[in-house]
A and B are shown apart, each in its own frame.
Chain A
Amino acid sequence: MIQNAQPKANPDQMARRSAIFFAVLLAFAFLLMPWRNATSGPNTGMGLLRIGTEYGAFSLLIFLVPLAALAGFAAGFSQRIAPHSPTFFQIAARVGGAAGLIYVAVAMIYGLQTTGSVGGMLSVQGMGIWVTLFTAAGLIGLTYNPNVTFIIVWIGVSFFFVQGIRREMTLFPLWSSIAFPMLTISPFLVLSIKMPRAAQIALLVLVVCVLLPMVGIEDTFYLELIIQISIFAAMAIGLNIVIGFAGLLDLGYIAFFAVGAYLWGMFTSTAADTVFKTSNALASPDAFWLFLLLGVIAAGITGVLLGLPVLRLRGDYLAIVTLGFGEIIRILVSNLSNISSNPIRRVNLTNGAQGLPGIAHPILPQGLYDLVKSIAAAIGVPLNTQSSVEAVTLQLFFYFLVLTVGGIAVIIAARLDNSPIGRAWTAIREDEVAAVAMGVPRVRMKLLAFAMGASFAGAMGVIFAAKQSFVSPESFSFIQSIFILVIVIVGGMGSIRGVLLGAVVVTLLNLQVLKNFSLLINSLKNLDWVVPIINFPIRNWPSQLEPARYERLVFGVLLIVMMIYRPEGISPAKRRRMEMQEAADQTLEEAAAEGAPRPGMDKIE
């Protein structure tokens, strides 16, 4: 990242960005009101009309933040893009900006008239302090970098959006699946927008370590979501080493996850009387850290064991064999409940299809519980019962643990990519024969890729088992492998940032958005809502077609569409982007005549 306080912004780009920004703001203007109304009574209000009520004041506050941004952008445009003839985006930006200003002005007048004072407005919902902070930050950022302002405003708006919606609201599922993704995506906006390194790190830490956990403490569903995202992100980083770096398609990746999960599960579950014939758990919860390491090692060894026999295989065969391997592991764990011919000497390793219950989690120091309790009280969500304090603390612990391990995985993967090993992987991926001819140790490098990829999954498996306190073969089915593959493909094979983005997008799609659609349809059914224009009464929507139950369909379509239109992923790796530009320079005929690979996609066989 270039250290540059005043980046040379491309006028077009800036205009486009702010046009989108204003569009989002305007959308909010109409979205804001109904949520607050829903808490107090039937959902009848239109945004502008209800602005004078107490709840309306809340939405007004949020518009103080955009106001700051608006001023900044207006200033920016007048200097930077005046010489050019207006483009579509410039016009859109100005119209949008003007509309936003008028809206905010009207809202302010109404708000002042009804609540009487600015101070009274600011104290609504205790949000005032946050709004002021964000506004101040936005103004400060504005003076030296409009990009920082933009991102601060984005984070602020989405954070308040998430905070402002309540489960009682009729349209909660809809708002929630807009608001929470906006917040979780913001780290990637931070990374993709040019700004000083220090600001970048500060904003990342703010979102990932402060805002997201805060939201999570208030609503444990979000906490669960961010843990799941982090787990899948870390696993996708591992799979990315195998597929993206070394070009080996692994369709049974979840097997390594299972190895880690069952390793911890077998030794601490209350159900498995293991090989050593004791009725108690074999390992104490204190051994968690040791087992985290063991999980890494065991999964790595499994990766080598899988790698050894399949090294000679070509790409598509390799895919099928790894798929078979994944299924073998799944069948094994669902059948290892009895491995003795003598019924009396029954040896139960995995408890079969019922799964292992009561898996231990590491014991945390008492201080941690107290800390979480006081933090929760400070942000206005007092945790009343001991059990809820324990649950939230434990979840937060796992969140930060996964973040740490995932962060280590990211660093390792990034360092590997730029190392001689990473270059050897690239060489093997691009052309195995040529790579071997140039002296790349093929066997060692492929095994290393398998082992590295597997070990991340192993670590995550141990953490997953401890977090869930229950594992069963169902968690390790083929669709889970495909799920991680979808993450890597959607994000962009070979690109670490892309894979992380893919983890956020795909996990949210699977665990939040689809579920929310089901909830939304149900709540609209209760309201007896009729789709306007087509006049379709929503209660006629068949209950069999619940979006949450059709994740395969969504993934299937996602895979096909990505492969056809953007095989390099949302956020492709630099090398692939370069190849794409290279390919664009060639004429199409030349490319066809040479049988060149598709733009942006490496030869991976």
Chain B
Amino acid sequence: MPALQRAGNWINLYILKPIGQILVFVVVSAAIMSALALLLGAVLNTPWHGIDLLKTRKGIDLFNQVVKQLPDMLLDGISIGFVYAVIALGYTMVYGVLRFINFAHSEIFMVGGVIGFEVMTRLGEANALSTMPPLFVILLMILMAMAFCGILAVVIERIAYKPLRGAPKLVPLISAIGVSFLLTDVVRAVQALSRNVFNMPYPLDRVGNPPRIFDLISFDPITQLSKGQQFLNPPFLQTRIPLVGNLTTNMTTVIIIVSAIIMVVGLNYFVNATKLGKGIRAVSQDQTTAALMGINVNQMITLTFLIGGALGGAAGVLFGLKVANITPYIGFFPGLKAFTAAVLGGIGNITGALLGGILLGLLEAFFSALLPFFPALGTGYSDIFAFSVLILVLLFRPTGLLGKKEDEKV
């Protein structure tokens, strides 16, 4: 039966293979990182080196701590890594097509988080949050954020980047910095006007969780959650999901990982198997030739921004679900880390962005879990590592792990 065989091939090529690749990435990077962490734990366990900075807290067995925290660190790192990977896809796609760092992407990601918050809070205010199916709520949040941020990215491209096409590289980059500042303050102004606060806590506990009757009378998700409101059921998003052995994780992590995988696989399909995807690839290789072949270059660039923006928006919602609190300034660090991830994997390369994201997420999780054991360092340094990685990568392998060397045109 050729039809069935074709379907089998299709599934194999566009679903199983990418998922397999993702699995390999995750497993290999997790293994390498764990090995490094264990090695570090073993080496630094005793202060044989005499370096004050690297001495651990008294009475702490670093190796034991590493072993004990390893599963948590891995899951945490993989989930945040997927978020970085999804943001990094936006950077890398735009870079692939326009050779341009879309500095405003971090703010598009932030706007995604804000849209997720708005959807969730409005549902909560309408008392629909607790009665709707939880997964539907999250799907709605992600889809709304994707739609809004995709269009936002296209509008930004149209207004702030398109008039600058063909200009020296720094010109659109500076314009993008301008856009990113503008977006931060616009979101701040809108939030200040509508809610009078900058903090946007996700009412996570309310998802799929009917409150007790007397709470329904006047429920304000922002103020009352902090007062330790009682719920009938344990919050949906904190449901423990059993993994291997007696290892469990919560629902949020699963949702983040699954939706990120769906998006990556979907993007892979779109770019590699559809005609539009072929158009994007053609434009990224050579704009002039692509135009000669009858590809509408402008349309492809718009499409790239649409997809990149949509992915950024979705990542914003996932990030919001993970950290549970969004501010207008939240875009900067995740954006930079995602950019680092894109560079680490090889900018312009979709697979590379995925690998870079996962590696960076793991690195971050390990750093922030282990830094507290070093009193001379402390958690304050956990944001330095991304920049250090970026600088090291650019120093020793500017093309990234999976990137190809681009010859400089003279």
Contact = CB atoms under 8 A, between A and B. Distances in A.
A592 B291 CA distance: 15
A485 B174 contact: yes
B390 A338 contact: no
A8 B56 CA distance: 78
Contacts of A323: 336
A315 interface: yes
A563 B164 contact: yes
Contact of B189 (A251, A315, A316, A553): A553
Interface stretch (B8-16, B20-28, B82-90, B176-184): B176-184
Interface in A554-569: 555-560, 563-564, 567
Given A556-B179, A556-B185, A327 B383 contact: yes
B100 A598 contact: no
B167 A339 contact: no
A604 B168 contact: yes
Contact of B376 (A331, A339, A550): A339
A321 B172 CA distance: 18
Contacts of A324: 336, 386-387, 390-391
Contacts of B57: 341
Nearest to A323: B336
B189 A545 contact: yes
A364 interface: no
Nearest to B333: A327
Contacts of B132: none
A538 to B, nearest CB: 16
A433 interface: yes
A544 interface: yes
Nearest to B159: A560
A557 B182 contact: yes
A598 B165 CA distance: 9
B170 A595 contact: no
B139 interface: no
Nearest to B378: A335
Interface stretch (A110-118, A226-234, A305-313): A305-313
B332 A325 contact: no
A559 B181 contact: yes
B404 interface: no
Interface in A317-362: 317, 319-321, 323-325, 327-328, 331-332, 334-335, 338-343, 352
B181 A552 contact: yes
A153 interface: no
Given A316-B173, A545-B189, A604-B170, A335 B181 contact: no
Contacts of B170: 249, 315-316, 319, 604-605
A604 B169 contact: yes
A340 B381 contact: no
A478 B336 CA distance: 12
A557 B380 CA distance: 33
B178 A338 contact: no
A603 interface: yes
B192 A544 contact: yes
A128 B75 CA distance: 79
Contact of B395 (A309, A555, A557): A309
Contacts of A316: 100-101, 169-170, 173
A601 B182 contact: no
Contact of B181 (A553, A595, A598): A553
A556 B171 CA distance: 14
In this complex, the member of A323, A324, A557 whose beta carbon has the largest number of chain B beta carbons within 10 angstroms is A324
B391 A605 contact: no
A542 interface: yes
A550 B192 CA distance: 12
A563 B177 CA distance: 11
B175 A560 contact: yes
Nearest to A558: B178
Interface string B373-410: 01110101101101110110011001000000000101
Given A559-B178, A601-B168, A313 B398 contact: yes
B166 A482 contact: no
Contacts of A603: 168
Nearest to A565: B163
Contacts of B398: 312-313, 317
Given A309-B395, A560-B175, A343 B168 contact: no
Interface string B184-207: 111011001100100000000000
A340 B167 contact: no
A597 interface: yes
A325 B410 contact: no
Contact of A564 (B175, B192, B374): B175
B174 A334 contact: no
A249 B186 CA distance: 26
B305 interface: no
Q: Is the interface of A mostly helix, strand, loop or mixed?
A: helix
A552 B184 contact: yes
Contacts of A352: 380
A331 B391 contact: no
B33 interface: no
Contacts of A558: 178
Nearest to A544: B192
B341 to A, nearest CB: 12
Nearest to B55: A341
B100 A560 contact: no
A162 interface: no
B164 A320 contact: no
Given A313-B394, A327-B387, A328-B384, A553 B376 contact: no
A542 B193 contact: yes
Contacts of B125: none
B192 A339 contact: no
A312 B239 CA distance: 50
B75 to A, nearest CB: 26
Given A316-B170, A320-B339, A331-B381, A343 B375 contact: yes
Given A321-B390, A542-B193, A544-B193, A552 B52 contact: no
A427 B73 CA distance: 50
Contacts of A564: 160, 163-164, 175
Nearest to B379: A335
A558 B179 CA distance: 10
Given A325-B391, A338-B378, A343-B375, A555 B178 contact: yes
A409 interface: no
B174 A489 contact: yes
A293 B332 CA distance: 35
Given A317-B394, A328-B384, A567-B171, A556 B166 contact: no
A560 B179 contact: yes
A340 B380 CA distance: 14
Interface string A76-104: 00000000000000000000000000000
Nearest to A478: B332
Contact of A433 (B188, B383, B408): B408
A251 B177 CA distance: 10
In this complex, the member of A316, A545, A602 whose beta carbon has the largest number of chain B beta carbons within 10 angstroms is A316
B53 interface: yes
Interface in B116-149: none
Nearest to A560: B178
Contacts of A338: 375-376, 378
Closest 4 CB pairs of A and B: A559-B178, A556-B182, A324-B387, A556-B181
Interface of B: 52-53, 55-57, 100-101, 159-160, 163-164, 166-175, 177-186, 188-189, 192-193, 196, 332, 336, 339, 343, 374-376, 378, 380-381, 383-384, 386-388, 390-391, 394-395, 398, 408, 410
20 contacts: A313-B394, A324-B387, A327-B336, A331-B381, A335-B378, A335-B381, A338-B375, A339-B52, A341-B55, A343-B375, A434-B410, A489-B174, A552-B185, A556-B185, A559-B177, A560-B178, A597-B167, A604-B168, A604-B170, A605-B169
Given A557-B178, A558-B178, 16 more contacts: A249-B174, A251-B177, A315-B173, A320-B339, A323-B336, A328-B384, A328-B387, A331-B380, A331-B383, A340-B375, A550-B185, A556-B182, A559-B177, A592-B166, A601-B168, A605-B170
